[in-house]
Structure 1
Amino acid sequence: MSDDVAYPVFRTPDLALALSTARRLMEFGRRPCSQVSVAAQLSSVAEVRRLGERLPGGRFEGYARYDEFDGVPWDEQPVLVIGVDGADLPADPAAYEGRFPVACELRSLPVGSIEDAFTAAIGRNRGEVHWDELYWPDAPEVGLHGESKHAEVTLLCNTLTRDLDEPADEHIVLVHVRSARVGGRQLREPYARWLAEQVGLTVIGPGRLW
């Protein structure tokens, strides 16, 4: 088992610029098997319905308390607890009561298939675009070998964290590398800096484990 650590390498209030920058970094490590996932957190019926129309294939799932439906058969639980596609969201506003925040996700899609539609639809909601199954090459200049398991790029939309719990008025691009800590120091931070430099970027803040 191993963890990844993500370093911010770009931030801007311009989402289109943030997306193009994240794509530039992603393309540096892209492989035929690379994939993309998106997620958003929504806090109103209007926004759930709007994204359902814009992203009909998205999976929408609402909040449920732990053990709230113990003993209730799965097929009798509310559709927002089970999870429902955007095209099948309930019309009755009462179905959303007690279910916020509602998460919207599309997972493990081909690169290029959802990024534009998602960023066009996200609005002021918090969300992320995440690319994985990339490959970071060897970095002989800093004496580090390449990797694939933790070769990832994330674009945070209107938020400071991948938990989507801290709102922001800007968007942040993260580069991920394998975590290797000794004495509290990340030994592979030079690798993150090297990767950013290959596409004209630089690490602009501390790394965070995910």
Structure 2
Amino acid sequence: MVSSPDPLVGKASQRALIPSSGYETRWHVVCTAARILPVGNSYAFPAFRTPDVDEALRVVNQLLELADTSQLELDFDIAVTSTRTLTRLLALLPEADWWCIDPGQEEQVLSPSSQRGDDPYTSLPIHFQHWCVPPEYLPPILAAVGSEMAAIRWDFTAWPAVPELKLDSSGKCAYITVSINARTIWPDESSPDHTVHIHAAEFYPERATWLAAQVGLEIIGDPEMSAL
């Protein structure tokens, strides 16, 4: 995985993303009930759940110690409902993509979005997204998120080889996602806790099980298909 020359440039040029509705030219992940995902995505296996964000981050760091993190970046997907949160996030990530969250809206109606040049403040609630973010942005973004729902994905070089399982080192599904104040990797189902998800290929769930075991954990639920 190669980062963009500008660490705050979106990943559309690096990865196959999900097309939004036809009126937009950019590609982004659409968090709706009908999610269309490309072939070959990773699956996110829940391995740890806690009401303490710091505990969730501790587990992430333990997992990262197993991995090749010579290249490391973060992806943020945040469900923003308040002007206060939006102001703080825009101060940190002014070039972020966003689109209106309106599940009841008819498909042919154009939703307000950054692509159209709409005002995010008059469009709340919105889905706020920025990928390829340097790791040092994590503390201030977490502080800005507060009680909002968010999904934070660590994107790194590779998971280690597991010879006993005949698994080579792999960068294809080298991700960890933490659902903040949300139960799933899509920030659309609120929860009083936070969940750490280990990503692995669909046909190699044993990698996720092995990784969890290395840090004293086990898989605690069904996997979800990821955007990547």
Alignment TM class, shorter chain as reference: 0.7 to 0.9
* 1:139-150 paired onto structure 2 within 5 Å: 139-150=162-173
Larger RCO: 1 or 2 (CA < 8 Å, sep 6+): 1
* 1:188-207 paired onto structure 2 within 5 Å: 188-207=204-223
Residue deviations 1:17-48, cap 9 Å, x none?
A: 11221122123213322221112111233432
* 1:73-152 paired onto structure 2 within 5 Å: 80=114, 82=116, 96-97=121-122, 99-110=123-134, 112-152=135-175
Q: Does 1:159 align with 2:197?
A: no
In structure 1, the residue matched to 2:100 is 63
Distance 1:202-1:50 versus aligned 2 partners, 3 A rule? same
Richer in helix (by share): 1
The answer for unaligned runs of 5 or more in structure 2 is: 1-38
How far the C-alpha of 1:199 sits from its partner, in A, is 2.6
**Residue identity matched to 1:168:** S
Q: CA RMSD in A?
A: 2.6
Structure 2: distance between partners of 1:79 and 1:149: 30
Q: State the TM-score, normalizing by the size of structure 1.
A: 0.75
Indicate the percent of aligned positions where both proteins have the same amino acid. Answer: 27
**Residue identity matched to 2:116:** I
Structure 1: distance between partners of 2:110 and 2:153: 32
The answer for unaligned runs of 5 or more in structure 1 is: 71-77, 85-89, 181-187
How far the C-alpha of 1:148 sits from its partner, in A, is 0.9
SS in structure 2 opposite 1:16? helix
Structure 1: distance between partners of 2:171 and 2:200: 9
Q: State the TM-score, normalizing by the size of structure 2.
A: 0.70
Richer in strand (by share): 1
* 1:27-38 paired onto structure 2 within 5 Å: 27-38=65-76
SS in structure 2 opposite 1:47? helix
